[in-house]
Structure 1
Amino acid sequence: MARNKKLYTSIALLAVFIVVFFLKERFTVALYQDEHHYLPTAVLFSKEPIPSLNLLQTYNELNTPVPFILGGWVLDIFGKDIQNLRLLTAFTSFALLMLFVWYSPRNTGRFWLCLGGLLIFPNYYLVSVYYYTDIFAMIFTLGGVIAYLRKRHWVAFVSLVAAICCRQYMLAFPAAILAYEVFKNVKWNAGPAILIKSVFFDTTWVWYALAVLAIVPWVVIWHGPAPASVMADQHYDSDKLVQYNFGYLMYASVVVAVYYIVPETLVTRRFTHYLEYPRRHPLMFIGFLAVVAAIVMFFPAKQAHNPYFTWPYLGYVDELLMKIGISGLPKQVIFGILMLVTLVRFVSPRFNLATWVYLLNVLLLGKAQLSWDKYSLPMIMVLWFLAMYDEHWLPSATRPENEPAPLNMKY
């Protein structure tokens, strides 16, 4: 029965993609925003199917080059037309959804919630019909998470390295798995020798430590986190690199609350966790209140504004609040409340994989050059996928191969 459900879902999604293809005039509409510079970059890579070191050092984009290498191959084979790049993007998006559908647990009761939760994120549509680099990073990230859950660690390593080679900040995902694998076995109350031995009790984490290190060659090639010329063009200069934007961290938590926690809670009607949390974990709750209050008062969320980037909003959620007349301190208080809700949802004395995915993603997004809902989309995707599994399941524990986790979904 579960197989039929997945088959019918796949056919329905294929029909949607076909309809969108024709609604978007067979992907021949005018260039959209970042496509104005992504297309020339892909054309540049089409001239060097195996890119030279000089090209890797000088191409005029902030993110790592695999999407442009793939785009260059497509342009070299089918012609230098944006339609071909959009078709590549759409095929990748459809393949991602097929991974999400076919590798979901057989008996999950959250299938429709989780699939729907991914699809209602407004940027998912945008990165699926235009030649944007996000969808390539997302499919490799999801592939890596699936391989990890199925204990195919070398496949997960390759996939997550590929994700980092599409977008630098995808390193948050192998880092999350690394942290989860290390800390789940650590015996903090033991002596130093036993503590170290507990870390090496299961060396699965080594694969993900190596995956995180995939960022190092790019930093060496560029002498920084991205090519220096484009960083200067986008006013992401060396002075800003030493700053950390706690307001962006708060807004990333807001995005998780709006696009994940709110629909999850409304559908599952599990409100008791939030009501009982202050009583169960009073010290943690007071700590959260202090952190959130400090960010609201001293580090309010404000969008970057420079000659390159002039859009006034932090993202869609911020734009909605501003357009209904909520701004200034009241808006920051709403952001703070939503961040508090997100912390309560994910952070408890027992960290699970979803906790690490949330924490490391939002901490990394505090170093972004600007705020944007879209930057949280890969995190939302992985959280929805993990939500179909029992969140207390330890994926490295002994379990028959391909056996889905129990679905009691305890908090």
Structure 2
Amino acid sequence: MKKLSANQLWFIFSILSLSIIGIIAIHCPLRGDEKHIIDTIKLFTTDLSFKTIKDYPEVTPPLFYIIYALWAKIFGSTIESLRIFTLLIALITWQLVFYLISLFVNKNKDSFLLSLLVIINPYFFGTSIFVFTDMLTIMFSLSAVILFLKDKYYLFLIFSSLAILCRQYAIIFPLAIIVFSIINLFIKKPINRRYIFGTVLTFLPLLVLFFVWGDILPVSGMRKWIVPAKNFYNISYINTYLTFSVVYLLPLVIYFIYKSIGLNFLNAGIAVIICLTFLQFPSQPSAATLMQANIRTVGFANIAFVKVFGENSLMLKVFLGILLFIGCYVNVILIRYFLIDIKNKIYDKKMILVIVWILFLLIMPFSYQVWEKYLTMVLPFLMLSIYLLLDIEHTKIKVKL
């Protein structure tokens, strides 16, 4: 009997896992944003027209609702039907996660474990069954990055545009390609010049929507969801994502610090300074979350810590501060190695992994919302960045293109 490949084993594992998730959760009551998302899908199902695209009660672009509406027209718009569609999208996305990781990781066992670390995130489980916009966005975003790594230029442009037309924050992926291409411009000028100008085109569909909406969001969605905030740029969001990225990648982070890199006093000193700076902007829910849902945490992990240590307790602040320091320490190492590669003119495509993560940290503070869930789209890239540094000769690691 022929031995199954790593891809086949992961596919079988995915089928079994998603089947179990589906059996357990298919009939669960609506979760969080599902109600208004499903209502909007039904709106697009009954009236898929320019008028609906011009104004609908959401703040995300219309492609997600259009795709789900097309499914609903054929298979019905019941909760169960829409959740089955989410499961199918998740099945594809799980395969893309494994494939992306396998491009950089030579050991099948490590590829499997790293993929498992991504999908055991409770938010990844949740978005694999419930009707949220995340899984479709992640599927398109992973596809775009993989196509870039494979030099499939036109397909990359298409899938980048599709991702942005599901969620605006997916703009970080084409922006990462632009940043990498600018860094690498003087090495392969014609190729990277093409990527720079071509990637800019992926923003055009969103710009067209701005023109159609007459604003950066649909009018009804803006009135319903946007809450005036004190700050245009929320530095506390960076604190949140640095802190809770450590939680969701904790096994790898511990192994990274203890086994391979160890404690470097220069890196630790820089991390302390950064950590003390971000402690001036403590992790906290957005104004929209507080006003609309009266939720005082930023996600599952935050809720668990509050229950253990108590809300606003000194122990909670100390514990979150320790996690923030660890996050700062790991990121100092990542960025230092990234800068060393640039200094040594080592322009490997693995640089994309770090660039995506940095852009996520820099761009998400513009959002009206902060939530641990948003980490799901970038954790595979941060995780791979950390894993690749476990090899002392990390600069010799090449993507299997």
User: Shared fold by TM > 0.5?
Assistant: yes
Any conservation in 1 of the 2:253–2:386 contact (CA below 8 Å)?
Answer: no
Shift of 1:100: 2.8
Q: Give the aligned partner of residue 7 of structure 1.
A: 8
| Distance change >3 Å, CA 332–CA 114, structure 1 → 2 | closer
Shift of 1:85: 0.7
Shift of 1:393: 7.4
Q: Give the aligned partner of residue 404 of structure 1.
A: 400
In the TM superposition, what whole-angstrom CA distance separates every residue of 1:301-342 from its partner, at most 9, and x where no partner exists?
221244313111022232232222164542552353133124
Answer yes or no: is 1:108 the counterpart of 2:100: no
| Distance change >3 Å, CA 376–CA 81, structure 1 → 2 | same
CA distance in structure 1 between the aligned counterparts of 2:357 and 2:122, rounded to whole angstroms: 20
Shift of 1:155: 0.8
Answer yes or no: is 1:69 the counterpart of 2:69: no
Q: Which moved more, 1:70-79 or 1:2-11?
A: 2-11
Q: Give the aligned partner of residue 42 of structure 2.
A: 43
Shift of 1:184: 3.0
Answer yes or no: is 1:293 the counterpart of 2:276: yes
CA distance in structure 2 between the aligned counterparts of 1:257 and 1:38, rounded to whole angstroms: 30
Shift of 1:133: 0.9
Answer yes or no: is 1:225 the counterpart of 2:216: yes
CA distance in structure 2 between the aligned counterparts of 1:2 and 1:154, rounded to whole angstroms: 36
Shift of 1:47: 2.1
Shift of 1:120: 1.6
CA distance in structure 2 between the aligned counterparts of 1:302 and 1:21, rounded to whole angstroms: 33
Equivalent position amino acid for 2:283 in 1: A
CA distance in structure 1 between the aligned counterparts of 2:227 and 2:104, rounded to whole angstroms: 46
Q: Give the aligned partner of residue 251 of structure 1.
A: 240
Unaligned runs of 5+ in 1: 188-196, 396-402, 406-411
Q: Indicate the SS of the match to 2:44.
A: helix
Task: After TM superposition, list the pairs within 5 Å mapping 1:359-398 onto structure 2.
Answer: 359-384=358-383, 392=395
Any conservation in 1 of the 2:238–2:361 contact (CA below 8 Å)?
Answer: yes
Q: Indicate the SS of the match to 1:300.
A: coil
Shift of 1:158: 0.6
Equivalent position amino acid for 1:48 in 2: D
Q: Indicate the SS of the match to 1:32.
A: coil
Q: Give the aligned partner of residue 151 of structure 2.
A: 151
Shift of 1:248: 0.7
Q: Which moved more, 1:323-332 or 1:30-39?
A: 323-332
RMSD: 3.0
| Distance change >3 Å, CA 201–CA 369, structure 1 → 2 | closer
Q: Which moved more, 1:371-380 or 1:250-259?
A: 250-259
Answer yes or no: is 1:88 the counterpart of 2:76: no
In the TM superposition, what whole-angstrom CA distance separates every residue of 1:129-184 from its partner, at most 9, and x where no partner exists?
11111000000001001101101021111111100111010001111121012113
Q: 2:196 aligns with which of 186, 205, 223?
A: 205
Equivalent position amino acid for 1:225 in 2: I
Any conservation in 1 of the 2:184–2:192 contact (CA below 8 Å)?
Answer: no
Q: Give the aligned partner of residue 21 of structure 2.
A: 20
| Distance change >3 Å, CA 185–CA 357, structure 1 → 2 | same
Any conservation in 2 of the 1:61–1:227 contact (CA below 8 Å)?
Answer: yes
Q: Give the aligned partner of residue 318 of structure 1.
A: 302
Q: Indicate the SS of the match to 2:137.
A: helix
| Distance change >3 Å, CA 291–CA 79, structure 1 → 2 | same
Equivalent position amino acid for 2:247 in 1: V
In the TM superposition, what whole-angstrom CA distance separates every residue of 1:234-288 from its partner, at most 9, and x where no partner exists?
2434x65x6111111111122222223x322445676443523x44x79xx63x5
CA distance in structure 2 between the aligned counterparts of 1:60 and 1:73, rounded to whole angstroms: 19
In the TM superposition, what whole-angstrom CA distance separates every residue of 1:344-399 from its partner, at most 9, and x where no partner exists?
2421123622221111111111122222111111011344466787975798xxxx
Q: Indicate the SS of the match to 1:129.
A: coil
Equivalent position amino acid for 2:20 in 1: V
Equivalent position amino acid for 1:152 in 2: K
Shift of 1:221: 2.7
CA distance in structure 1 between the aligned counterparts of 2:59 and 2:305, rounded to whole angstroms: 30
So what's the TM-score if we normalise by structure 1? 0.81
CA distance in structure 2 between the aligned counterparts of 1:186 and 1:342, rounded to whole angstroms: 30
Q: Indicate the SS of the match to 1:204.
A: helix
In the TM superposition, what whole-angstrom CA distance separates every residue of 1:182-206 from its partner, at most 9, and x where no partner exists?
113459xxxxxxxxx9698653333
CA distance in structure 1 between the aligned counterparts of 2:386 and 2:193, rounded to whole angstroms: 25
Q: 1:346 aligns with which of 334, 338, 347?
A: 334
Q: How many residues align?
A: 376
So what's the TM-score if we normalise by structure 2? 0.83
CA distance in structure 1 between the aligned counterparts of 2:148 and 2:379, rounded to whole angstroms: 18
Structure with the largest fraction of helix: 2
Q: Indicate the SS of the match to 1:308.
A: helix
Unaligned runs of 5+ in 2: 343-350
Q: Which moved more, 1:140-149 or 1:64-73?
A: 64-73
Any conservation in 2 of the 1:58–1:227 contact (CA below 8 Å)?
Answer: yes
Q: Which moved more, 1:208-217 or 1:64-73?
A: 208-217
% identical aligned pairs: 19
Equivalent position amino acid for 1:33 in 2: G
Any conservation in 2 of the 1:222–1:228 contact (CA below 8 Å)?
Answer: yes
Any conservation in 1 of the 2:354–2:385 contact (CA below 8 Å)?
Answer: no
Q: Give the aligned partner of residue 399 of structure 1.
A: none
Any conservation in 1 of the 2:58–2:225 contact (CA below 8 Å)?
Answer: no
